[in-house]
Each structure stands twice: as structure tokens, then as C-alpha cells.
Amino acid sequence: MKFPLGKRAVAPGTALDEPGSDLEVTAEPTGPSRTQGWGRLLRGNRTMWVVAAVAVVSLVAGLALGQFIVSPGQAAADAKAPKAGLITVPVESRELGNDVTIRGDATYADSVEVKIETGDLGGPAVVTGQVPEVGATFGAGNVALEVTGRPVIVLPGDLPVYRTLRVGVSGPDVTQLKQALSAVGISPGDLGSAVYDAATAAAVAALYDKVGYPVPSSEEGGAEALRSATEAIASAKNQLAAAQRDLAVARGGATASERLGQDNAIRVAQRNWQAAVDEGANPTELANLQDIIDLELVKRSELTAPRDTSAEVAGVAAATQQLASATQTLADAKNGALTAFPASEVLYLPGLPRRVDEVTVQRGTTITGAVMRVSGATLVISGTAAETDAKLLKEGDAALLAMPDGSEHPATVASVTPAKPAEGSTEPSGRFTVLFTPAELSAEQIAALQGNNVRVSIPVSATAGAVLAVPLAALTAGPGGESRVEVSTGDGDETTLVEVTTGLAADGFVEISSEEGAIAEGDLVVVGR
């Protein structure tokens, strides 16, 4: 057999003995010669046969795997919808509660500068003692500072000091003083009166005794004025007594002896006239004697007639006025000797007790401005809330502080007030400032809280213990707007509708109740299908 390979390659699929194939087959070998030819063919094209074998194997494997691998789209297309069923949850017995949660800063609030009125001292206001330390607390009746040897007494009040109070003055500052004295347990007299009277002066003296300082000195010359007024009133009383005696005498008329003497004179005149008649006196003599009788009768009439006492009355009035003037002078002198309350010796602070945050004076220095800065003595938590949350809060509500150590501490809502508008704006901010007062804190707790921003939770509504509750999704509305739940009967997909009364909703649950126990804990209610 000959293989003339020099002409051209054989096209795939062309028979070797096809006419015009350029391969001439001259003989058909038989026996061993043919087997040896195929061996040489295979050995000469081993790479081609390997590639062909791999291709065949890959094709077969791909066809086989294609029977098991399905694309997601095909799987979704081939999938069948599962049979619909009920989605149920059990009715629970649980406590429900709604909370408002805000964040707040722990600070000592309401920091103010303290100034002392020194205008009435008449000289330099030198600090001589009682300088407080930072962190000290002022209460009603405490001494804040000692100036020129005199105390500056702390009292509760909002109205600043602007004058020294003495007996006889009146006004709102006197009312504030009386209320402050009452707050420290000292009776100032009539709280409804705005007059600084003797009772108020006595109460101020008691206040000085309480703080351990002598009462302020009376006005210069007060003792001499009191002595002079006392002498003047004694003299006025004597003059009035004399004027009253003169008036009494004038109003009493003639004495008995005066009346008797006049009666005797009348009788003598009558006897003389009668004797003249008996002697045959001429008419002229008789007329003269009759005139004497008439005169004596007139005198008798004057003795019994009321006298003119206008002079004596005027004397009594003058003496009375002099006594009244002397009495007022004595009262003024006594008032001047009573205890006054100097403006430089009182410091009114609202919201006592107060904590000293800063002291700007020391012993020996002269006061020229603010002497210290104080703030509220109680640590407060200050936060802000949106109007919707603020409307749910009120003063006195209980709250819980999230302490830095992870524990919770009780607190109380102290106030809920509109927040100030933004700087430069007059429009309401729409937010509210909420202040909380923590329950009693230890020194360690105060140190941990101060300056920190903490979370505060305020329960605004809660059930009274455990109630039946279902998820909100279990509620449906009936044709009349009534609330109802669909309860599984346990028999396949069978359910029954039960009308319920709803209560508090919180945390995705709502409180329910039904008539005659139509629904109970553990019953399965439908929330979906």
C-alpha cells in the first residue's frame, strides 16, 4: 500500500478511495500489514485523538449535568404556589406601657452672680470674715459673708434689696421680709400687712440673735431724742390737766357763797326801799332805791346763767394738740430706737438652698462688684422634647434616669416650659425644656452624673398589671366600626370573629377585653394568611 502524501491534505469526510482524492490506493493489504498501518496512523496523530476524546467526554458530561441543574428563573417558573394557611399568634397576658424618652444634661441649674448692697455703709465695704468655700450650700438664715464686721444674712426672696427697712416704712420689700422671716420660723406679726412695725422689728432682732450677731445700732442721737421726747410728753400732760381744770371751773357757774351773798344784797335793797316808803319818802328817793333792787336782781341772774367758756375750751384744745405732738415725737423716737434691717446686711436668693460655684472675694478685700456665683444646690437633668411628647408630660410625673454604671435611678419631672426661640428669632422654637429632679443621690452618684448627658424615660401610660394583649395586626374593624379579632377554632382553617374592647396600645400590642370571657390567654388569633 502506498500513501502519496506529497500532493495535499485530505479534506475531512473524504473517502480514501474516492476518485480525485489525490490518494491512490493500489492494493488492499491484508493480514498483519493492515494492522500495522492503523497503528502507525494512531501513533502519528496522538494529540489530535486526545483532544477529540476530551471533547466527547465533556459533551457527554454536559448533557448529563444538564438534567440536574436548573436556573433560578426556570425554578421560579416551575414552582407551584403553596396551599394558603392561617398565620396565628397566641393571646398574651402582659403589662403594657408607653414611655417618652429624651436625653438631658446633668447640671446645677440657675447659676447667678451675687452682689451685695453696700451703699448704706458710708465707707469701704471690706470683707472681714465668713468667706464660703466652693461647694458650700446656703440655706435660709445662713450668713453668706461678713462685711465690716457685720453679717450678710441669706433669706428666700426674688426682690433685690434697695433700701434699709425701719419701723413705719411699707412696701413689697417689707412683705417679702415678713414672708422670709416666717420661712425661718420667726413670727413677723401680721403677714397681711406691708408695714414694718414694732412686731417686725422684734422679729428682725430675733433673726440676729439666731445667726449670732448683735442687732444693728440705732440711729445716731436716738437715745437723746427718746429722752427729750419723754420729757416733752410729761410737760404736755401737765398743761392739758391745768386747762381742763379751768374749763371745769368755768362750766360749774357761781359757788353757793356767791349765790347766797347776792341773795342777801337783794333783800337789803328791798328792805331799804320798804323803809323809805314807810317814812314817806318822795318819789325820786323811792325810784333810786328801786333801781338798786333791779341791779341786784340782774346780778343774781348772771350768777345762775351759763358762763362763756370759749377761752377755757381753746386752752384745752391747745394743750391736747401739744400732747398729741409730743406723743408722736415719742413714738418716732421709740421707733428710731427699734431694730432696723440695713440693706447691706441681707441677701435675698430665690430657690434656696443654693450651691456656691465660685467666690471672687477673700478676707481683707474691698467689695467692688459681684462677690460670688451660686447655682441651684440640687443636681437637675435638663433636656428638650418635641411638642407632641411635651404634651404628655406634667410636673410631678415619675421618670427613670439611665445612670452611667448601667443602673436606673428614680426622678421626677420638675417643670415643662416652652424653649426659648433661637437667637435673633421671635418665632417659637416648637420645642419644650423639661427639667427633672433626681431622687436623693449619693456623693459618688452626683460625681458620676455631673456634666454628663443621660437618657431619661418617663412612663406616660401603663396598664394596672397584666392584661390580655394581641398584636395590632390582629385587630380588624367591623361594619359598625367596632374592634374585633379573628380567633382560630383549631379545626383546620376555621375561625370565629370575636368583638373586643381595646385599651392601651404600646410596643406593637394592644390591650383587649371581651364580654363573658369570649377570649382568653393562649387563644390563637389570626394576624395574616
Rounded CA separation 340/198 (Å): 10
Q: Tell whether the model's pLDDT for residue 503 goes beyond 70.
A: yes
452 part of a folded domain: yes
Contacts of 203 (CB under 8 A, 6+ apart): 178, 181, 186, 187, 188, 189
264 part of a folded domain: yes
Higher pLDDT, 358 or 122: 358
Beta-bridged to residue 468, according to DSSP, are: 93
- Mean pLDDT across the stretch 392-404? 92
Q: What SS3 state is found at 90?
A: strand
Rounded CA separation 454/458 (Å): 13
| pLDDT at site 77 | 55
> Is residue 255 domain-shared with residue 323, that is, in the same domain?
yes
Q: Identify the domain containing residue 346 by its residue range.
A: 116-218+338-369
| pLDDT at site 49 | 67
> Is residue 432 domain-shared with residue 485, that is, in the same domain?
no
Q: How do residues 414-456 score in pLDDT, each as one tens digit?
A: 999 998 887 777 777 789 999 999 999 888 888 888 889 999 9
| pLDDT at site 25 | 42
Q: How do residues 330-374 score in pLDDT, each as one tens digit?
A: 776 676 678 899 999 999 999 888 989 899 999 999 999 999 999
For the chain, the distance separating the N- and C-terminal CA atoms, rounded to the nearest angstrom, is 84
Q: Report in angstroms the alpha-carbon separations of 467 from 91, 322, 499, 505, 508.
A: 10, 88, 17, 11, 14
> Is residue 383 domain-shared with residue 365, that is, in the same domain?
no
Rounded CA separation 458/413 (Å): 9
> Is residue 316 domain-shared with residue 392, that is, in the same domain?
no
413 part of a folded domain: yes
| pLDDT at site 22 | 45
Rounded CA separation 148/118 (Å): 10
- Mean pLDDT across the stretch 271-282? 89
What CATH number did the domain enclosing 491 receive?
Answer: 2.40.420.20
Single-letter amino acid code for the residue at 86: L
| pLDDT at site 3 | 42
Which secondary-structure segment (H or E) carries 383?
strand 379-386
Q: Assess contact for 448 and 404: CB atoms under 8 A.
A: yes
| pLDDT at site 344 | 94
Q: What SS3 state is found at 275?
A: helix
86 part of a folded domain: no
Among 12, 27, 44, the domain boundary falls at 44
For the chain, how many structural domains are there in total? 5
> Is residue 190 domain-shared with residue 246, that is, in the same domain?
no
> Is residue 210 domain-shared with residue 346, that is, in the same domain?
yes
> Is residue 122 domain-shared with residue 172, that is, in the same domain?
yes
What CATH number did the domain enclosing 392 receive?
Answer: 2.40.30.170
Range from 64-73, 90-99, 182-191, 314-323 carrying the lowest mean pLDDT: 64-73
Q: Report in angstroms the alpha-carbon separations of 25 from 36, 71, 287.
A: 16, 54, 226
- In this prediction, residue 322 has a pLDDT band, given cuts at 50, 70 and 90, of confident
Q: Assess contact for 193 and 179: CB atoms under 8 A.
A: no
| pLDDT at site 99 | 85
- Mean pLDDT across the stretch 141-150? 95
405 part of a folded domain: yes
- Mean pLDDT across the stretch 165-177? 93
- Three-state secondary structure string covering 219-263: CCCHHHHHHHHHHHHHHHHHHHHHHHHHHHHHHHCCCHHHHHHHH
69 part of a folded domain: no
> Is residue 288 domain-shared with residue 207, that is, in the same domain?
no
> Is residue 156 domain-shared with residue 179, that is, in the same domain?
yes
Q: How do residues 66-105 score in pLDDT, each as one tens digit?
A: 565 656 656 555 555 556 678 999 999 988 878 889 999 9
Rounded CA separation 326/238 (Å): 12
347 part of a folded domain: yes
- In this prediction, residue 230 has a pLDDT band, given cuts at 50, 70 and 90, of confident
> Is residue 304 domain-shared with residue 245, that is, in the same domain?
yes
Among 408, 443, 462, the domain boundary falls at 462
294 part of a folded domain: yes
Neighbours of 341 (CB within 10 A): 27
- In this prediction, residue 14 has a pLDDT band, given cuts at 50, 70 and 90, of very low
> Is residue 213 domain-shared with residue 229, that is, in the same domain?
no
> Is residue 390 domain-shared with residue 362, that is, in the same domain?
no
Among 311, 334, 357, the domain boundary falls at 334
